[in-house]
């Protein structure tokens, strides 16, 4: 396992749509391990593969409930709405308010190719949406009405 460089806003790779994973290999599992190391080292709650320069539909999340690895994720249900502050490891030093669903149900494959379904509210729901947006080349800065600097 290794730390990977986090791609920063301005890199064109963050604006590209990621390709689905067609086969889960040891290379994909190593990527997941590296992404976890990188996310925890940077004190993040989520990290998408494009943020480490890999244009594949993969992200990880740990919003306090343990690490979740999602390959080819698909949001299948949302409910409600909440406006909260968001930040991003690819946009260091900035923050903004973003409206997201209060509840999200998402399905994906795990590192072994098994289908998993997760449900989340509040921060976990927000993290699912934020990371899923990365897979489509969308940053939270695209959907916030105001950005400000954070320390």
Active-site residues, by number, are 131
Question: Which residues pair with residue 71 across a beta bridge?
Answer: 58, 109
Question: Which residues pair with residue 82 across a beta bridge?
Answer: 100
Cβ atoms of 14 and 52 within 8 Å: the answer is: no
Whole-angstrom distance, CA of residue 77 vs CA of residue 13 = 28
Pairing of the two strands 91-100 and 103-109: unpaired
- Is residue 76 classed exposed, middle or buried when 0-12, 13-18 and 19+ CB atoms within 10 A define those classes? exposed
Buried b (16+ CB within 10 A) or exposed e, 31-46: bbebbbebbeeeebbb
């Amino acid at each position: 396992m290794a730390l990977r460089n986090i791609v920063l806003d301005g890199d064109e790779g963050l604006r590209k749509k990621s390709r689905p994973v067609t086969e889960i290999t040891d290379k994909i599992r190593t990527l997941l391990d590296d992404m976890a190391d990188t996310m925890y080292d940077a004190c993040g709650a989520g990290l998408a593969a494009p943020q480490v320069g890999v244009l594949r539909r993969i992200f990880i999340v740990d919003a306090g409930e343990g690490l979740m690895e999602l390959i080819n994720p698909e949001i299948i249900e949302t409910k409600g709405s909440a406006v909260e502050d968001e930040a991003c490891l690819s946009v260091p030093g900035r923050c903004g308010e973003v409206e997201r669903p209060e509840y999200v149900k998402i399905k994906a494959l795990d590192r072994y190719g098994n289908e998993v379904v997760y449900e989340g509210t509040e921060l976990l729901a927000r993290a699912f949406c934020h990371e899923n947006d990365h897979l489509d080349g969308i940053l939270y800065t695209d959907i916030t009405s105001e950005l400000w600097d954070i320390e």
